[in-house]
Chain A
Amino acid sequence: MDSVMRSEGPRSEPDLVLAPPPPVRRILVEEEPTVVQPPAPGNGYVPLGGHGNGLTTQVRRREPSSAPKIERMRTEGVSIAYGEKLAVDEVTIPVRQGEVLALIGPSGCGKTTLLRSLNRLVEITPTATRGGTITLDGEDIDRMEVTELRRRVSMVFQQPNPFPMSVFDNIAYALREQGSRRPRKEALHEHVADALVRAGLWDEVGSTLDHPALRLSGGQQQRLCIARALAARPEVLLLDEPCSALDPRSTQVIEDLILKLRDEVAVVIVTHNMQQALRVADHVGFMYLGELVEYGPAEQVFGSPREERTREYVGGAFG
């Protein structure tokens, strides 16, 4: 806080003899520059941007999971183009259960397009073409029924999109609309409750399952969408910037949820928020202009990136 007292100059006609003005006093709050010691590695902290970059931002890491890592999906040399424009260029990346894969990169780098190719949602766009292979548990996904693929690989979108139905009907949607026999409501109740528990939403909506889903808050709606995606017990969960439309508190709740889920499903999350990637991801893929520039464990990509472009992005040189 600065407070400066300004004294007036002498008047032309000094009727009064003013006392000499007090000396200007600047009241400052001394701020000690915070000296952050780069902690020893293994202490749970990772400086962003690599050592010697001068950044002092610290992010608390989470514990890695102890569950076995099973490879669920794999893309081999996948390229995707919209008409003439190449969006994804020869990407090979594995997706494993027991860990969270984060795709990071600046806008337009192709990470969302790559994500959407994993459940063949890219095909909806008429001008999209795809090369390379993607496998789910060894099977080529192009040879599967697309509806079955999407049952096994679920997706949560950036904007929460609960259907205009009750909470119960939303969650039960995946269970009802996949078979020819329409299951009874009582039989579904157990699955719905289970999905809500896994999504951490049961306490809040368990007693009001028949209320319209659109009346929930934004964070609750997004968790509802996650519960809905989990209801049919998929093998892979795709998250397309799930927290970008939410407030920080909801974001934290969902990040904790993601960490809890990674043992049951393989999680792929696209995010443009590097701190978020650092908080939740085990492996990170950095994409730039459609290319997978670097892929590796999160500590390595953020702490000591191999590529120059990665270093620049992670250090905040561009975004």
Chain B
Amino acid sequence: MSAATSPLDSVRSWPLRDRLGYFAAWAAGMALIAIAAAILIYMGYRGAQYFNLGLLIESPSSSLNQAKSGGFRDPLIGTATLLVLSTLIAAPLGVTIAVWLTEYGRPAGLARAVESAIEVVAGTPSIVLAMFGLILFQEWFGFLTFDAEGAVLGRSFIAAASMMSLIALPLVVGATREALNSIPGHVREASYALGKTKAATIRRVLLPAARPGIGTGAALGMGRVAGDTAIVVVLLGATLQILNGGDGGVFGFFKGTGGTLTSYVYYNSPAGEGLAPEKAYFAAFVLLGVVILLNFVVARLARRREPAWIR
């Protein structure tokens, strides 16, 4: 219940305008509940209906009868790989930028420019980022991509993860800045008064205190990365199976192509090949599970009490 209301304020006595508003709010609320329930229940139902743990372990097969063969182990690995790689790129970059913006930020014009640039990235459609990445990796960084008989196609895990990190970047920067800004000034002053340099203060005092915020930002970023399809379709090759990028070994793995859960769902739906909606449903169900898990992590991190600063 909100602050300034009294439970004995009876709606029946209100003027018509207010009663309409009241009912509109209730209608919107009920519709919201209905839609949310419908989505979650329907996906749960379909997921249970097509529940098949074996699919998680088998690799996709390239047989024509998609409905009966192959699982999505490779796309699962693909999703995990992209999550890890893009966070590994985005987190340090994001924290660095956030620290520079809040603790230094000189000259002011440069700081505003960086802020605006981050906002532009936040608002850019991921397909545009994917196109840019494709040209970038095709023409300049081809050595980091998949080699198909010498013809560079500009696709690989590295390429996809690099562009994905741009999607997660604004979220990490935003969350870290918020966390740093909520640390009161006297904490910094106390550290300086003890003779610590600014760099040491940041490293030893501020960043550890901002850890929940950074974690929240990283988890939010991971959520967006897990859910993105456009960059995967464009930059990962969207092959059903993970194909090593020629060199073999770990580096070859990152140079290779593959798919993720999102591209797998896309290609198994009528928009793609469309031959196996059952697998698409179950894959979507698993994908939802991953997202719910990440959301849960965010909620726990956000709820954890940051050190109570005496103001």
- Interface class of chain B by DSSP: loop
A145 within 8 A of B: yes
B65 within 8 A of A: no
A210 within 8 A of B: no
Interface residues of B in 1-50 (CB under 8 A from A): 1, 3-10, 13, 15-17
**Are A146's CB and B9's CB within 8 A?**
yes
Minimal Cβ-Cβ distance residue in B for A180? B15
**Are B13's CB and A145's CB within 8 A?**
yes
Complex contacts, B4 vs chain A, CB 8 Å = 124
Complex contacts, B7 vs chain A, CB 8 Å = 123
B163 to nearest A CB, angstroms? 43
For the complex, give the distance between the alpha carbons of A179 and B15 in Å: 7
Complex contacts, B8 vs chain A, CB 8 Å = 120, 123, 142, 146
Complex contacts, A179 vs chain B, CB 8 Å = 15
Number of interface residues of B (CB under 8 A): 13
Complex contacts, A273 vs chain B, CB 8 Å = none
Complex contacts, B6 vs chain A, CB 8 Å = 120, 123-124, 146
Interface residues of A in 159-192 (CB under 8 A from B): 179-180
A83 within 8 A of B: no
Please report the number of residue pairs spanning A and B whose Cβ atoms sit closer than 8 angstroms: 23
A126 within 8 A of B: yes
**Are A180's CB and B9's CB within 8 A?**
no
Complex contacts, A142 vs chain B, CB 8 Å = 8
Minimal Cβ-Cβ distance residue in B for A150? B6
Contact with B along A94-133 (1 / 0, CB 8 A): 0000000000000000000000000010011010000000
| Most chain B beta carbons < 10 A, residue from A120, A126, A179, A180 | A180
Minimal Cβ-Cβ distance residue in A for B3? A124
Contact with A along B147-172 (1 / 0, CB 8 A): 00000000000000000000000000
For the complex, give the distance between the alpha carbons of A120 and B6 in Å: 8
**Size bin of chain A's contact surface:** 10 to 19
A252 within 8 A of B: no
For the complex, give the distance between the alpha carbons of A180 and B16 in Å: 7
Complex contacts, A120 vs chain B, CB 8 Å = 6, 8
Complex contacts, B17 vs chain A, CB 8 Å = 180
Complex contacts, B16 vs chain A, CB 8 Å = 180
**Are B1's CB and A126's CB within 8 A?**
yes
**Are A124's CB and B5's CB within 8 A?**
yes
Complex contacts, B9 vs chain A, CB 8 Å = 145-147
A262 to nearest B CB, angstroms? 28
Contact with B along A5-23 (1 / 0, CB 8 A): 0000000000000000000
Contact with B along A136-147 (1 / 0, CB 8 A): 000000100111
| Most chain A beta carbons < 10 A, residue from B3, B8, B13, B17 | B8
For the complex, give the distance between the alpha carbons of A123 and B5 in Å: 8
A241 to nearest B CB, angstroms? 19
Give chain B's interface residues, CB within 8 Å of chain A. Answer: 1, 3-10, 13, 15-17
Give chain A's interface residues, CB within 8 Å of chain B. Answer: 120, 123-124, 126, 142, 145-147, 179-180
Q: A145-B13, A146-B8 are in contact. List 5 more A-B contacts (CB 8 A).
A: A120-B6, A123-B7, A126-B1, A146-B9, A179-B15
Give 23 A-B contacts (CB < 8 Å), ordered by A residue: A120-B6, A120-B8, A123-B6, A123-B7, A123-B8, A124-B3, A124-B4, A124-B5, A124-B6, A126-B1, A142-B8, A145-B9, A145-B10, A145-B13, A146-B6, A146-B8, A146-B9, A147-B9, A147-B13, A179-B15, A180-B15, A180-B16, A180-B17
